[in-house]
Structure 1
Amino acid sequence: MKPLKNKVSITLDSDIIEQLKLLAEQDDRSFSQYINMILKEYLTQADKKKEA
């Protein structure tokens, strides 16, 4: 069973959007998938720092 997803609205700087779109395309992912992936990685690293 896939995890439930929620739609959110955020405001990002134009230069960040362009960089993320380029990186997502290079990784063969959608913009949304790419943002989700990098946020998960960030949160995993943040949790590791808390445990240290």
Structure 2
Amino acid sequence: MVGFRHGRGPEGECICTKCGHKEPHERDTPCLAKKCPKCGAVMIRYSPGGLR
């Protein structure tokens, strides 16, 4: 199917790129769309296998 993307699954966390704050990953919400509640920086996906 053209244009269809699979997510990385429900496991993992979102981690702040600035202060390191972690929050559980929410299904259907990309970590990059979230801002850190502590410092306002961008958050990225962190999974047990490492940064993704």
- Greater helix proportion: 1
Q: Normalising by structure 2, what TM-score?
A: 0.20
* TM-score (ref. length: structure 1): 0.20
Q: Which is strand-richer, 1 or 2?
A: 2
Larger relative contact order (C-alpha < 8 A, sep ≥ 6)? 2
